[in-house]
């Protein structure tokens, strides 16, 4: 045997008197093979455990980083930025140190001092949304900032906020440093939070708190120092109405404001004030709905006669507390320099309401109800002839211009026949309903 070869081990098996039997050798080899397989299996498990640990660690790190951004914990250090260096003495300009500090702080927007979060305030004052008031609180600072940004530049402008609630949107408005902010809140439970924000904002701007109903508030008295702007000026008035509107009054409030817009009263006594408001998603879609749209309705045409509405973005209902059953749309409404009609708002609203009262039927059906039965057929036919509109078209198939031609035709007939101006086809039904209610004490539903 050469020296390069290793020792060769052989199992010596004898036929008689052997020390190790062949079966025993086979068994030992089987055990050895099983041990080898067990070791390989453990090695694979160890490798898989390492991969699983790495994956779990990455997942935990990702969740942590996401929570940092979503809760905005990264803003914690913002309050510790290096302060602006100011020279206290400036005899040439004669400016006080406080004036310089105020200008330095407001040049890039107001950074509010540390305040309780909206959620903390809701818990602190034990605030609960009241269903009758259609209250839904928006807590996410990113969304409230986005709503305020949709209003455009409000720095050094005049802002009226409708229904501030616990103050989410209010904080976002204050950070943009308007000249004068007025908040109108019906629910007195939110007064402490509003007073706290007013105290914080006082060094930089004027903030007034009105405890009352926005439906009764006279906006023309809100900003006594705001100069009036020419309606035909391309630059709009520096007045903005912003709010997370209660769903229950949003449509009624918007119609009231469109009336003020047409008459240039209320907020529009200052000039072409803009609106940035939240509505139920379906209502928001109706406001901006074009001709032939499934959402086309009275609200669409009324808005598009006097303004340019735009659906800016949508907010999931999950972002609100309590969560509403619908999503929300944010709409901006900017008055036109030249409205599409000069007919009085009340006449326009009456005719448009009749046109869309039977949306899926021929528009002739709704328009005919403008006239008393004795002259209904004759004047209805004359209305469509003068308006040059197809009486067999459905209301959602009519353009704004066609609707306005019907309005103008009706307005002309009223001037010729003043006695038809006060006719209301619903009046007999309402009187009948009242009679039934007085007779049997049961409520009767009248036509809407």
Establish whether 153 is an annotated binding residue.
Answer: no
Separate counts of helices (H) and strands (E) for the chain: 14, 9
Establish whether 163 is an annotated binding residue.
Answer: yes
How far apart, in whole angstroms, are the C-alpha atoms of residue 288 and residue 303? 8
Establish whether 138 is an annotated binding residue.
Answer: yes
Sole residue written with tokens 């040059």: 388
How far apart, in whole angstroms, are the C-alpha atoms of residue 412 and residue 309? 29
Closest CA to 388 of 400, 365, 405, 370: 405
Establish whether 136 is an annotated binding residue.
Answer: yes
Q: What angle do CA 190, 192, 193 make, to 5 degrees?
A: 70
Number of residues written out for the chain: 448
- How many other C-beta atoms can be found within 10 angstroms of the C-beta atom of residue 410? 27
Q: Which residues of 257-283 are buried (b: 16+ CB within 10 A; e: fewer)?
A: bbbbbbeeebbbbbbbbbbbbbbbbeb
Establish whether 82 is an annotated binding residue.
Answer: no
How far apart, in whole angstroms, are the C-alpha atoms of residue 271 and residue 196? 32
Output the CA–CA distances (angstroms, integers) from residue 367 to 154, 361, 391, 401, 409, in the order listed. Answer: 43, 11, 9, 16, 11
Q: What residue numbers does the annotated binding site cover?
A: 136, 138, 163, 185, 213, 244
Q: What residue numbers does the annotated binding site for S-adenosyl-L-methionine cover?
A: 136, 138, 163, 185, 213, 244
């Amino acid at each position: 045997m050469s020296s390069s070869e290793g020792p060769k081990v052989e199992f010596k098996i004898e036929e008689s008197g052997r020390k190790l039997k062949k079966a025993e050798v086979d068994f030992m080899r089987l055990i050895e093979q099983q041990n080898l397989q067990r070791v390989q299996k453990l090695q694979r498990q160890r490798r898989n455990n390492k991969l699983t640990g790495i994956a779990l660690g990455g997942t935990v790190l990702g969740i942590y980083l996401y929570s940092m951004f979503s809760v905005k914990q990264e803003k914690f250090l913002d309050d510790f930025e290096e302060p602006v260096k100011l020279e206290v003495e400036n005899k040439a300009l004669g400016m006080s140190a406080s004036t310089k500090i105020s200008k330095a702080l407001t040049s890039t927007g107001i950074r509010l001092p540390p305040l309780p979060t909206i959620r903390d305030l809701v818990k602190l004052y034990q605030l609960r949304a009241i269903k009758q008031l259609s209250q839904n609180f928006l807590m996410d600072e990113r969304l409230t900032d986005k709503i305020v940004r949709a209003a455009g530049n409000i720095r050094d402008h005049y802002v009226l906020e409708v229904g501030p609630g616990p103050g989410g949107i209010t904080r976002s408005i204050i950070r943009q440093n308007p000249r004068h902010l007025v908040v109108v809140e019906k629910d007195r439970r939110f007064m402490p939070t509003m007073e706290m924000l007013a105290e914080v904002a006082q060094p930089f701007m004027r903030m007034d708190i009105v405890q009352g109903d926005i439906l009764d508030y006279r906006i023309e008295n809100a900003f006594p120092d705001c100069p009036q702007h020419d309606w035909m000026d391309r630059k709009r008035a520096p007045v903005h109405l912003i709010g997370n509107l209660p769903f229950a009054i949003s449509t009624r409030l918007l119609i009231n404001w469109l009336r003020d817009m047409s008459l240039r009263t209320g907020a529009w006594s200052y000039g072409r004030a803009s609106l940035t408001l939240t509505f139920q998603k379906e209502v928001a879609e109706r406001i901006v709905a074009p001709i032939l749209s499934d959402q086309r309705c009275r609200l669409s045409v009324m808005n598009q006669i006097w303004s340019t509405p735009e659906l800016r973005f949508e907010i999931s209902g999950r972002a609100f507390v309590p969560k509403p059953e619908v999503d929300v749309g944010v709409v901006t409404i900017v008055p036109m320099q030249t409205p599409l009609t000069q007919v009085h708002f009340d006449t326009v609203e009456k005719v448009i309401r009749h046109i869309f009262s039977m949306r899926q039927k021929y528009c002739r059906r709704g328009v005919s109800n403008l006239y008393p039965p004795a002259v209904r057929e004759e004047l209805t036919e004359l209305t469509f002839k003068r308006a040059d509109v197809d009486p067999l078209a459905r209301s959602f198939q009519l353009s704004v211009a066609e609707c306005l031609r019907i309005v103008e035709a009706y307005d002309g007939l009223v001037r010729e026949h003043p006695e038809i101006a006060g006719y209301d086809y619903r009046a007999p039904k309402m009187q009948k309903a009242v009679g039934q209610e007085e007779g049997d004490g049961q409520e009767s539903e009248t036509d809407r």
